């Protein structure tokens, strides 16, 4: 992963910039939908964004589904959004690659998976499947679990334990019971598999570094240490208050013993296709399991410290904006709060942790794990100040900043807090545009996927519930010209793949050789 610096500029020097250069603002979760009661963006007072999105420099671009390299009809997400913004082309995302390997039969023929199943079958040992149980398609999909259960049964594995992680963030809260029921049905259809533990994603998928949350999740899955329940759905009755915070619960047998603790000779397969939130748990589990000799695999490649063998590998994302800026010797400063720091560095660079000589990373850190519902402004003033500081430097060609509020607060599902987040974001955009005018820079604003424009959604039972997940809506794309340098009408019908070519054009450079996107100017 990328190196982090404090609120001051990171190390590094060199690399002049032709002209004053520009500022790219990724407004995370900034989707477009008609005004309406569930659209927090249209409900909020956002005079600056309203004016900017009504200019000739504004259009809508696609940020979901096949336009960015996701399965058709799939909502966008921050990882693929920032990867495609950086790559200048759609990238087959891990969820699409897994789906393709299921459809072609390649996953069922995977040598590592078949060898592992054969060993478990011969030795009477268990396979443990750990993953987010929903069809949110941001981190995982229960359809992938269905295929893995089918393969395990076909390969003769007789003991398969499912360690279910409940969602409530990528799908509506209050739907965990329906998904648990769906998982049990999938196991019954496959003829193998039982739920052994149920843990909320707040514990199991923490990525803030709160290792106590990770520890209690891992102990429930590995050792059967947690609140004992007779049936998986009983875990939802606990005090957690939401699907996200279902306390680590363990299904127990007649004598109160955990039914599916991990034993010597077992194997674990993580079924999330996205790494950033499960890697903390995976690393902890790998270090906790010994002296038990347990094989650990993952469905897709993870950015863990431990070497975990993936069943499906990643697409190449090199040759993007970071490589082109380096090739032209153009210095960039990347700025974001912790929640989105990896996105404007590691993911924008194509999941490449190398910090280039012409790159500086600024992480704006928050104290503790803040309650975003109560504090929707987050650390915006410090992000804006860091942007102004970088924009004031003549050696900086490009400032890239992520304004996280609309998405991070949107994920709480609290429409009122998200309206406030949108208002604060509008103020921040006005401040950045003023900085740009003072420093003679252009500004490019773009969403990475939708979220706040849809804050309610009917659940599986048809009942409208608060919805904090992402959408398939297009996102606004706006170029604010540098003072005295008009840009004219931007082209309609674009996608996130056109952002990097547009940035390079604004910097007076051609698109990268492997970029299929084209400048929208
Ligand atoms: O991980 C999360 O916070 C959400 O599940 C996905 O949000 P992101 O794709 O915007 O990070
Ligand atoms: Mn995002
Ligand atoms: Mn999000």
- Which ranges constitute the DSSP H helices of 392-475? 405-410, 415-439
Task: Please indicate, yes or no, whether residues 300 and 345 belong to a single structural domain of this protein.
Answer: no
Q: At which of 283, 312, 341 does a domain end?
A: 312
pLDDT computed for residue 19 by the predictor: 56
In a domain, 274, yes or no: yes
* For the CA of 78, the nearest atom of ligand 1: 9
Task: Please indicate, yes or no, whether residues 103 and 235 belong to a single structural domain of this protein.
Answer: yes
* For the CA of 29, the nearest atom of ligand 1: 10
In a domain, 413, yes or no: yes
Question: Ligand 1 atom 11: the closest Cα is on which residue?
Answer: 78
Q: What residues flank ligand 1, with Cβ below 6 Å?
A: 77-79, 138-139, 169-170, 277, 407, 411
Task: Please indicate, yes or no, whether residues 104 and 203 belong to a single structural domain of this protein.
Answer: yes
4 pLDDT more than 70: no
pLDDT computed for residue 458 by the predictor: 82
pLDDT computed for residue 496 by the predictor: 98
How far is residue 248's CA from residue 315's CA, in Å, rounded to a whole number? 35
pLDDT computed for residue 318 by the predictor: 97
Task: Please indicate, yes or no, whether residues 242 and 264 belong to a single structural domain of this protein.
Answer: yes
Question: Is 0.90 topped by the overall pTM?
Answer: yes
Half-sphere exposure of 256 (CA within 13 A, CB side): 2
**Do 379 and 340 touch, CB atoms closer than 8 A?**
no
Distance from residue 407's CA to the centre of ligand 2 (Å): 6
pLDDT computed for residue 463 by the predictor: 80
Q: Which ligand is nearest to the CA of 138?
A: 1
* For the CA of 276, the nearest atom of ligand 1: 1
In a domain, 301, yes or no: yes
430 pLDDT more than 90: yes
Task: Please indicate, yes or no, whether residues 442 and 394 belong to a single structural domain of this protein.
Answer: yes
Q: How does 183-212 read in b/e, with b if 16+ C-beta sit within 10 Å?
A: bbebbeebebbbbbbbbbbbbbbbbeeeee
How far is residue 301's CA from residue 308's CA, in Å, rounded to a whole number? 8
Ligand 1 site-directed mutation target among 26, 138, 273, 345, most atoms within 8 Å of CB? 138
Please indicate whether residue 332 is annotated as part of the active site: no
- pLDDT tens per residue across span 356-401: 999 999 999 987 678 999 999 999 999 999 999 999 999 999 999 9
Plot region of 230 (φ>0 → left; ψ -120 to 50 → alpha; else → beta): alpha
9 pLDDT more than 50: no
Smallest Cα–Cα separation from 197: which of 229, 243, 169, 242? Answer: 229
Residues near 354 by beta carbon (within 8 Å), at least 6 away in sequence: none
Distances (CA, A) of 412 to 115, 168, 457: 42, 9, 14
Smallest Cα–Cα separation from 433: which of 384, 380, 362? Answer: 384
Mean pLDDT of the chain: 94
Q: At which of 278, 312, 346 does a domain end?
A: 312
340 pLDDT more than 60: yes
Q: At which of 288, 312, 336 does a domain end?
A: 312
Ligand 1 site-directed mutation target among 26, 27, 78, most atoms within 8 Å of CB? 78
Q: Which ligand is nearest to the CA of 344?
A: 2
SS3 of residue 449 by DSSP: coil
**Do 448 and 33 touch, CB atoms closer than 8 A?**
no
431 pLDDT more than 70: yes
In a domain, 368, yes or no: yes
Q: If you count DSSP H runs as helices and E runs as strands, how many of each does the chain have, helices first?
A: 16, 18
CATH number at residue 481: 3.40.720.10
Question: Ligand 1 atom 8: the closest Cα is on which residue?
Answer: 78
183 pLDDT more than 60: yes
SS3 of residue 353 by DSSP: coil
pLDDT computed for residue 461 by the predictor: 75
Distances (CA, A) of 442 to 9, 343, 385: 21, 22, 17
* For the CA of 448, the nearest atom of ligand 1: 10
Task: Please indicate, yes or no, whether residues 160 and 79 belong to a single structural domain of this protein.
Answer: no
In a domain, 84, yes or no: yes
Domain that residue 249 falls in: 95-312
**Strand 159-166 relative to strand 194-200, pairing:** parallel
Distance from residue 51's CA to the centre of ligand 3 (Å): 25
How far is residue 501's CA from residue 61's CA, in Å, rounded to a whole number? 14
Q: φ, ψ for residue 207 (rounded to 5)?
A: -125, 10
ipTM of this complex > 0.90? yes
Ligand 1 site-directed mutation target among 170, 243, 274, most atoms within 8 Å of CB? 170
How far is residue 5's CA from residue 375's CA, in Å, rounded to a whole number? 24
Tokens of 431: 């401040």
In a domain, 13, yes or no: no
pLDDT computed for residue 110 by the predictor: 98
Beta carbons within 10 angstroms of residue 287's beta carbon:
11
pLDDT, greater one: 2 or 408 = 408
Question: Ligand 1 atom 5: the closest Cα is on which residue?
Answer: 170
Distance from residue 79's CA to the centre of ligand 1 (Å): 8
Orientation angle between helical segments 94-104 and 142-154, nearest 10 degrees: 40
pLDDT computed for residue 14 by the predictor: 31
Orientation angle between helical segments 142-154 and 176-190, nearest 10 degrees: 20
Distance from residue 409's CA to the centre of ligand 3 (Å): 9
Ion ligand 2 contact residues with beta carbon within 5 A: 28, 78, 407, 448
Ligand 1 site-directed mutation target among 83, 169, 341, most atoms within 8 Å of CB? 169
Task: Please indicate, yes or no, whether residues 61 and 100 belong to a single structural domain of this protein.
Answer: no
In a domain, 258, yes or no: yes
18 pLDDT more than 80: no
3 pLDDT more than 50: no
203 pLDDT more than 90: yes
| Number of structural domains the chain divides into | 2
Question: Ligand 1 atom 1: the closest Cα is on which residue?
Answer: 277
Distance from residue 449's CA to the centre of ligand 1 (Å): 10
Task: Please indicate, yes or no, whether residues 42 and 158 belong to a single structural domain of this protein.
Answer: no
- pLDDT tens per residue across span 135-173: 999 999 999 999 999 999 999 999 999 999 999 999 999
* For the CA of 207, the nearest atom of ligand 1: 1
Mean pLDDT of 178-206: 98
Distance from residue 79's CA to the centre of ligand 2 (Å): 7
In a domain, 5, yes or no: no
CATH number at residue 137: 3.40.1450.10
Q: Which of 13-17, 102-106, 255-259 has the lowest mean pLDDT?
A: 13-17
Mean pLDDT of 103-110: 98
Task: Please indicate, yes or no, whether residues 171 and 307 belong to a single structural domain of this protein.
Answer: yes
Task: Please indicate, yes or no, whether residues 365 and 331 belong to a single structural domain of this protein.
Answer: yes
Q: Is the peptide bond before 291 cis (omega within 30 degrees of 0)?
A: yes
Q: Which ligand is nearest to the CA of 81?
A: 2
Q: How does 427-458 read in b/e, with b if 16+ C-beta sit within 10 Å?
A: bbbbbbbebbeebebbbbbbbbbbbbbbbbbe
**Strand 309-312 relative to strand 295-300, pairing:** parallel
Of residues 42, 78, 249, 338, which has the active-site annotation? 78
Q: How would DSSP label each residue in 34-60?
A: -S-TT-HHHHS--HHHHHHTTSTTEEE
How far is residue 35's CA from residue 50's CA, in Å, rounded to a whole number? 12
- pLDDT tens per residue across span 440-456: 999 999 999 999 999 99
- pLDDT tens per residue across span 262-321: 999 999 999 999 999 999 999 999 999 999 999 999 999 999 999 999 999 999 999 999
Distance from residue 246's CA to the centre of ligand 1 (Å): 19
Task: Please indicate, yes or no, whether residues 292 and 369 belong to a single structural domain of this protein.
Answer: no
Plot region of 363 (φ>0 → left; ψ -120 to 50 → alpha; else → beta): beta
pLDDT computed for residue 8 by the predictor: 40
499 pLDDT more than 60: yes
Task: Please indicate, yes or no, whether residues 390 and 324 belong to a single structural domain of this protein.
Answer: yes
């Amino acid at each position: 992963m990328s190196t982090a610096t404090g609120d001051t500029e990171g190390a590094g020097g060199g690399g002049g910039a032709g002209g004053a250069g520009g500022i790219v603002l990724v407004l995370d979760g900034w989707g477009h939908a008609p005004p309406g009661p569930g659209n927090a963006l249209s409900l909020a007072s956002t005079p600056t964004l309203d004016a900017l999105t009504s200019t000739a420099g504004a259009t809508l671009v696609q940020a979901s589904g096949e336009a960015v390299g996701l399965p058709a009809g799939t909502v966008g997400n921050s990882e693929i959004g920032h990867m495609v913004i950086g790559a200048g082309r759609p990238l087959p995302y891990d969820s699409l690659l897994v789906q393709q390997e299921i459809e072609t039969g390649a996953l069922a023929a995977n040598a590592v998976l078949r060898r592992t199943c054969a060993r478990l079958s011969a030795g009477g040992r268990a396979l443990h499947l750990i993953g987010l149980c929903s069809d949110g398609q941001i981190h995982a999909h229960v359809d992938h679990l269905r295929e893995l259960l089918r393969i395990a049964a076909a390969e003769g594995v007789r003991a398969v334990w499912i360690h279910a992680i409940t969602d409530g963030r990528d799908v509506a809260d209050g739907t965990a019971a329906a998904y648990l029921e769906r998982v049990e049905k999938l196991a019954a259809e496959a003829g193998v598999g039982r739920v052994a533990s149920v843990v909320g994603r707040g514990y199991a998928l923490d990525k803030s570094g709160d290792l106590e949350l990770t520890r209690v999740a891992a102990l429930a899955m590995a050792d059967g240490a947690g609140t004992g329940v007779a049936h998986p759905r009983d875990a939802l009755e606990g005090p957690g208050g939401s699907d996200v915070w279902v306390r680590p619960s363990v299904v127990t047998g007649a004598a109160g013993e955990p039914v599916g603790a991990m034993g010597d000779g077992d194997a674990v397969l993580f079924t999330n296709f996205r790494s950033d939130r499960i890697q903390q748990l995976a690393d902890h589990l790998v270090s906790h399991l010994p002296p038990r000799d347990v094989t650990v695999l993952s469905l897709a490649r993870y950015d863990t410290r431990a070497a975990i063998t993936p069943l499906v590998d990643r697409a190449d994302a090199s040759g993007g904006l970071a490589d082109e800026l380096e090739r032209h010797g153009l210095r960039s400063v990347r700025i974001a709060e912790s929640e989105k720091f990896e996105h404007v560095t590691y993911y924008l660079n194509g999941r490449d942790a190398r910090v280039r000589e012409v790159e500086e990373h600024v992480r704006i850190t928050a104290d503790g794990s803040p309650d975003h519902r109560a504090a929707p402004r987050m650390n915006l003033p410090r992000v804006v100040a860091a942007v102004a500081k970088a924009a004031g430097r003549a050696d900086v060609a490009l400032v890239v900043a992520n304004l996280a509020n609309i998405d991070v607060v949107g994920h709480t599902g609290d429409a009122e807090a998200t309206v406030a987040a949108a208002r604060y974001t509008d103020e921040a955009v006005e401040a950045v545009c003023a900085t740009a005018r003072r420093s003679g820079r252009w500004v490019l604003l773009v969403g990475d996927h939708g979220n706040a424009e849809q804050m309610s959604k009917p659940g599986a039972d048809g009942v409208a519930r608060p919805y904090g997940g992402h959408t398939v809506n297009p996102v606004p794309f706006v170029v604010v010209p540098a003072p005295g340098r008009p840009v004219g009408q931007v082209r309609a019908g674009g996608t996130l793949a056109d952002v990097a070519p547009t940035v390079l054009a604004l910097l007076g450079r051609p698109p990268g050789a492997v970029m299929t996107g084209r400048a929208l100017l």
